[in-house]
Structure 1
Amino acid sequence: MALAALISAYHLAEEETEGLRATLPLAGRTLLEHQARLASFAGADHIVVVAERLPVALAAATERLRRAGLRVDVARDAADAADRIHPDERVLVIGDGCVAPVGLVERVAEARAPLVLTVADEPDNAVFERIDAVARWGGLMLINGAALRDTVAMLGDWDLESTLLRRTVQAGAERIDAGVQAGRRGGAAPLLVDGAAHLDGFDRDMLAGARSRGRDWPWRHIFPAIEGIVAPPLLRRGIDPVWFSVAAVTMVIVAGILFAAGWNLTAQIALLSSGPIAAVAERLAGARLSPLRWAPAFVKARMTAAAATLAVLTAGLAADHGWGVWLVSGIILLAMAALAAERRILKHLPGGQVPSWVASLDGLIWAMAPFALVGYWFIGLAVLAVYALCSFAIVQRELASRVGQRNAG
């Protein structure tokens, strides 16, 4: 059954000078944009924003969402919102100013309607609307389109959110305790934002929930420390992550130019910086719940530029060490090409897993660093050739094992 999202965007922030809750700044965008991306990430293919008025900031936010490919409608009242949602659709209701971890939103979206997310009735949760003596509404609920239409039909002058909540609770909706879910998933609790000050530190939670897709050892053990320093201020400024993907490729090209000029150590530093820059791009995109544009093309461009850079370095070293340098570099390239092919096959087999220490582009770059530091470039390339060949042998063995298990089964 299709999933729609209903997001309220009509309450003013605590300080009226801050405008609507929905337009409070978050990660260089608005709170509404993060809510809409949360809903889309949870599976909603249609988002209806209920806005009694449409200030410039709100109109700009919805237009940015549409340009990003999200299907967003703006309804000026409850009846208009109900008309835009089919009675048979499941509806994820997100309260005005409510933000929650991705996993919690997904948990609600995957459940059967009706369902209400709750938080404990404690002083720290006083901003949330009370349901009964022990629970308050956590800002998310799941209903169906027919229930929305029935509620709108009798709404009158009452508030849409509160009336939907009361009717859903009275209908015997299942309850999910946000505190219990956050404990199980190791995540944060939902947040009801009533002013910009309430969002202090939330960008760090967004980054903590976003993980780069790299699986090799530099992406797992080196780059996260760099991302933790660089990513937070960049996220707040709203810089498009695609520019960091461009920068990552550019640094590899710059390294090739520096190798050609004989500035080998500086070139190695440029190569080392390329990986963390690419990781920051993915981390920022993940925090904003938006796909990194042209990601596969950037990966291919970076690998192609790295191969060309290796050829430039090889040409420089061959002047002192002879044709053997070309042989070693050729082994590296062939082994990595074969390894990439084996990885693609293994990825489609059940249980196929490649160890994080297996050679990769960034693994080779960082493994070369100590040899570059002491000037043993040829020896470093020879070690990388052995590293690539051993990695290919390990993956080939794993692939043969998985194919054998599948055939036996």
Structure 2
Amino acid sequence: MALGALIGAYQEDDSGGLAALLPLAGRTLIEYQVRCAAAAGASPIVVLVERIPLALNQAFERLRQEGLAVVPVSDGAEAATRFEASELILLIGDGIAAPLELLLRLGHEHEALVLTVPDDEAHENFERIDSVSRWSGVALIDGRMLGATAAMLGDWDLPSTLLRRSLQAGARLQAATSGNEPLLARNSGALEQFERSLIAASRSERTDLASRYVLPPVEDFATEKLMETGVRAEWLLYLALALTVGAAFAFTRGWLWPAVITLVLSSPLDLVARRLGILRLRPIPPKTYSQLLLWPAGGLALIALSWWETRHGAGWGALVCALSAAAFAQAYQVERAHTDIALPPWLVSRRNTIFLLLLFAIGQAWTGFLVAVLVYTSVSFFFVQYLVHRVRTELTPH
């Protein structure tokens, strides 16, 4: 069944501004609501708003630039014309910050549904339904119900009236699970804890030593600063790729330390890019070319360093080490891509290799690094081979 979304954006917060414009994760609450609705598969996404101040219009423009079609309307009658009578409509109340997982689950429902929270002190600002429950601010309503309600609305509040009429029509009540409840925000302070939970949730599993133990402070700091800017996640991937290729060029010119610093600077950028994508509900696809090219670009930098060492006293052994290491690293990547086995974080990765290079660079042991990375990549390859073989042996019936 088709799904649309209707979001309220007309009530004031405690300071007299629109609650929809409260800051959340570097953007505004209305942008978060629209992105969540889009992620749940809703289209069109209609925003009910009495007036459109400059800040709200700017938020709509940012959403449109991301390819999200937002339709502002000024009353219920106009809102009703934007939906088909046969579709379900995801209703999100004014000032409601709902967890994405909750809305994604609603996107798979096929009948009218009202999410509730307990009628207790913690939820006293939510609209009461009965003696034991209140409206969470999120519901699924029938398109026909919206049209009928808009026709008789008058001066009544549309979301509240829709709620009442949906309940009278037999909409199913479902309690939001504890810890996954929508939040009703009327000031920025109410959103702080929700924002912290979003930032924490954006930090996915770290699979190598560098990202697990070295880079988290840098990654957290950069994520919190960049989420407040207009920097796009994919731009960081392009920058990481450009820095890596730039480091390869610097190695060929003998600018060894500038190349090392450039590689170190590139190491957290893809992690930060992924987190920005998650925070803005536009995750970076795993097969994005700029991300896939980081691995071969790292190999190019390794070979560039070996070429410099070959021409300046190390002989052809340095180039052979680099080429062999690159081959082992690629073979390791192939093996890793075809197994679901949990691998230890010490195995070879682009970031681990960069910080290994930094350690050898401190001692000016450039050729020593090339030998070490050959050992590192070969051990990683044979270790993952061993793990895969062991699992296959265990699964083979005797």
Instruction: Please list the CA deviations of residues 176-205 of structure 1 after superposition, one character each: whole Å capped at 9, or x if unmatched.
Output: 433x342xxxx6x42222233433354322
Instruction: Please list the CA deviations of residues 200-257 of structure 1 after superposition, one character each: whole Å capped at 9, or x if unmatched.
Output: 3543222112135764443344433322233213223343333322332233244335
1:175 maps to which residue?
173
Counterpart secondary structure, 2:297: helix
Report the more deviating stretch, 289-298 or 45-54: 289-298
2:290 maps to which residue?
298
Q: Return the offset for 1:127.
A: 2.3
Q: Return the offset for 1:325.
A: 0.9
Q: Return the offset for 1:364.
A: 2.2
Q: Return the offset for 1:133.
A: 2.5
2:274 maps to which residue?
282
1:320 maps to which residue?
313
Q: Quick one: distance in 2 between partners of 1:171 and 1:353?
A: 51
2:363 maps to which residue?
374
Matched to 1:211, the amino acid is R
Q: Return the offset for 1:87.
A: 2.2
Tell whether the 8 Å contact from 1:45 to 1:70 is kept in structure 2 after alignment: no
Report the more deviating stretch, 211-220 or 28-37: 211-220
Q: Return the offset for 1:125.
A: 2.4
Q: Return the offset for 1:10.
A: 1.7
2:333 maps to which residue?
340
Q: Is it true that 1:23 corresponds to 2:21 in the alignment? A: yes
CA change 1:215–1:148 in 2 (3 A) is farther
Q: Return the offset for 1:151.
A: 2.7
Matched to 1:8, the amino acid is G
Alignment equivalent of 1:250, drawn from 242, 264, 272: 242
Q: Return the offset for 1:45.
A: 3.5
Tell whether the 8 Å contact from 2:44 to 2:82 is kept in structure 1 after alignment: no
Map 1:106-117 to 2 at 5 A: 106-117=104-115
1:60 maps to which residue?
58
Matched to 2:289, the amino acid is A
Q: Quick one: distance in 1 between partners of 2:230 and 2:178?
A: 30
Q: Return the offset for 1:78.
A: 1.0
Instruction: Please list the CA deviations of residues 290-319 of structure 1 after superposition, one character each: whole Å capped at 9, or x if unmatched.
Output: 244997232244334323321221122222
TM-score by length of 1: 0.84
Matched to 1:360, the amino acid is S
Q: Return the offset for 1:137.
A: 1.6
Instruction: Please list the CA deviations of residues 68-120 of structure 1 after superposition, one character each: whole Å capped at 9, or x if unmatched.
Output: 11232222211221221122222211111111222222233333432222222
Tell whether the 8 Å contact from 1:265 to 1:373 is kept in structure 2 after alignment: no
Q: Quick one: distance in 2 between partners of 1:78 and 1:24?
A: 24
Tell whether the 8 Å contact from 2:303 to 2:323 is kept in structure 1 after alignment: no
Q: Return the offset for 1:24.
A: 3.0
Q: Quick one: distance in 2 between partners of 1:260 and 1:357?
A: 29
CA change 1:388–1:200 in 2 (3 A) is same
Query: Mind listing any 5+ residue stretches in structure 1 that lack a counterpart?
Result: none
Q: Quick one: distance in 2 between partners of 1:112 and 1:402?
A: 42
Tell whether the 8 Å contact from 1:251 to 1:271 is kept in structure 2 after alignment: yes
Q: Return the offset for 1:155.
A: 2.3
Structural RMSD (CA): 3.0
Report the more deviating stretch, 61-70 or 108-117: 108-117
Instruction: Please list the CA deviations of residues 265-294 of structure 1 after superposition, one character each: whole Å capped at 9, or x if unmatched.
Output: 453233122121221121112111124499
Matched to 1:133, the amino acid is S
Q: Quick one: distance in 2 between partners of 1:161 and 1:404?
A: 60
Q: Return the offset for 1:130.
A: 1.8
CA change 1:338–1:293 in 2 (3 A) is closer
How high is the sequence identity, in percent, across the aligned residues?
38
Map 1:9-408 to 2 at 5 A: 9-16=9-16, 18=17, 20-178=18-176, 180-182=177-179, 189-212=181-204, 215-260=207-252, 262-292=254-284, 296-318=288-310, 319-344=312-337, 346=338, 351=340, 356-396=345-385
1:3 maps to which residue?
3
Tell whether the 8 Å contact from 2:88 to 2:112 is kept in structure 1 after alignment: no
Counterpart secondary structure, 2:228: helix
Matched to 1:139, the amino acid is G
CA change 1:129–1:405 in 2 (3 A) is same
Counterpart secondary structure, 1:38: helix
Matched to 1:375, the amino acid is Q
Instruction: Please list the CA deviations of residues 9-34 of structure 1 after superposition, one character each: whole Å capped at 9, or x if unmatched.
Output: 12222322x2x222333333322111
CA change 1:80–1:232 in 2 (3 A) is same
Q: Return the offset for 1:260.
A: 4.2
Counterpart secondary structure, 2:278: helix
Matched to 1:248, the amino acid is A
Matched to 1:200, the amino acid is E
Tell whether the 8 Å contact from 1:99 to 1:191 is kept in structure 2 after alignment: yes
TM-score by length of 2: 0.87
Instruction: Please list the CA deviations of residues 353-389 of structure 1 after superposition, one character each: whole Å capped at 9, or x if unmatched.
Output: 6555442222322343433333333233223223322
Matched to 2:6, the amino acid is L
Q: Quick one: distance in 1 between partners of 2:8 and 2:223?
A: 30
Report the more deviating stretch, 157-166 or 38-47: 38-47
CA change 1:277–1:173 in 2 (3 A) is same
The count of aligned residue pairs is 396
Tell whether the 8 Å contact from 1:5 to 1:46 is kept in structure 2 after alignment: yes
Counterpart secondary structure, 1:93: strand
